[in-house]
Amino acid sequence: MTNEFHTEYQYDRCTSRGICSINPTTSSLLEVILLYLRHAAYYGLQFEKKGIKNKIIRNLILNTLSILSSNYEISERNFEIINSAFQKELPVILKEYKESFDNKQLLETEKLLNSAKTINEYIRFGEKEFNKRIRNMEAKDRNLYRILFILTKSLCVNILTYESFGQDAEEEILSAFEVLDLLNSVQKNRENIKEFISNIAKKDCELMKNIRLIQEKEYGKQEECEVSFSTQKSKAVLVVGTNLKELEKILDEFQEKDIDIYTHDNMILAHTFPKLRKYKNLKGQFGQGMENCLLDFSTFPGPIILTRNSLFNIENLYRGRLFTTDFAYSKGVIPIKNNDYSGVIISAEESKGFKTGKTCPKEKIGFSLESALNTINKKLENKNFEQIILIGIDGYSIEEKEYFKTLLQRIPQNILIISLSCCQSKDNIICLNASFDNTSMIRLTEEITKITKKKMTLFFPYSDRHTLSSILYLSRINTNKTFVGKWNQTIINPNIMKGLKEDFNILELSTPKNDLDCITNS
What residue spans define the domains of the chain? 15-217, 225-364, 367-520
Q: Provide the pLDDT confidence category of residue 71 given band limits of 50, 70 and 90.
A: low
- Cα separation of 324 and 80, whole Å? 17
Predicted pLDDT at 188: 66
DSSP H helices in 101-189: 109-113, 119-134, 139-163, 170-182
What's the whole-number mean pLDDT along residues 260-270? 94
64, 82 Cβ separation under 8 angstroms: yes
Predicted pLDDT at 2: 41
What's the whole-number mean pLDDT along residues 118-125? 93
Predicted pLDDT at 482: 94
Q: Above 60 in pLDDT, residue 519?
A: yes
Q: Which has the minimum average pLDDT: 65-69, 192-196, 267-271?
A: 65-69
Q: Above 90 in pLDDT, residue 521?
A: no
Burial class, 383, CB count within 10 angstroms (exposed 0-12 / middle 13-18 / buried 19+): exposed
Specify the pairing of strand 363-365 against strand 225-227: antiparallel
- Cα separation of 260 and 238, whole Å? 9
Domain with residues 367-520, CATH architecture:
3-Layer(aba) Sandwich (3.40)
Predicted pLDDT at 314: 58
What's the whole-number mean pLDDT along residues 454-462? 91
Q: Which has the minimum average pLDDT: 4-18, 54-68, 474-488?
A: 4-18
- The SS3 assignment for 334 reads strand
In the chain, what percentage of residues exceed pLDDT 90?
Answer: 59
Q: Provide the pLDDT confidence category of residue 456 given band limits of 50, 70 and 90.
A: very high
- The SS3 assignment for 338 reads coil
Give the amino acid at 456: M
Choose from 4-13, 186-195, 228-237, 286-295 the range with maximum mean pLDDT. Answer: 228-237
What's the whole-number mean pLDDT along residues 229-240? 95
Q: Above 50 in pLDDT, residue 15?
A: no
DSSP secondary structure of 387-434: EEEEE-S----HHHHHHHHHHHHHS-TTEEEEESS-----TTEEE---
Q: Above 90 in pLDDT, residue 140?
A: no
Predicted pLDDT at 23: 61
What's the whole-number mean pLDDT along residues 395-417? 88
pLDDT in tens, 462-479: 888 889 999 999 998 867
Segment holding 262, helix H or strand E: strand 259-264
Measured in degrees and rounded to the nearest 5, phi and psi for residue 27 equal -60, -40
- Give CA separation, 39 vs 33, 57, 248, 497, in Å: 10, 10, 37, 29
What's the whole-number mean pLDDT along residues 400-421? 92
* 225-364 CATH fold: Rossmann fold (3.40.50)
Q: Provide the pLDDT confidence category of residue 489 given band limits of 50, 70 and 90.
A: low
- Cα separation of 208 and 211, whole Å? 5
Predicted pLDDT at 73: 64
Give the amino acid at 158: N
Give the amino acid at 183: L
What's the whole-number mean pLDDT along residues 147-157? 93
Measured in degrees and rounded to the nearest 5, phi and psi for residue 231 equal -120, 155
Segment holding 373, helix H or strand E: helix 369-380
Q: How many residues does the chain have?
A: 522
Q: Above 70 in pLDDT, residue 358?
A: yes
Q: Which has the minimum average pLDDT: 17-21, 63-67, 379-383?
A: 17-21
Q: Provide the pLDDT confidence category of residue 247 given band limits of 50, 70 and 90.
A: very high
Q: Among 209, 220, 217, 194, which Cα is nearest to 158's?
A: 209
DSSP label of 273: S
What's the whole-number mean pLDDT along residues 299-314? 82
Q: Examine domains 225-364 and 367-520 and report if their fold is the same.
A: yes
410, 429 Cβ separation under 8 angstroms: no
Predicted pLDDT at 1: 34
Q: Provide the pLDDT confidence category of residue 14 given band limits of 50, 70 and 90.
A: very low
Q: Provide the pLDDT confidence category of residue 18 given band limits of 50, 70 and 90.
A: very low
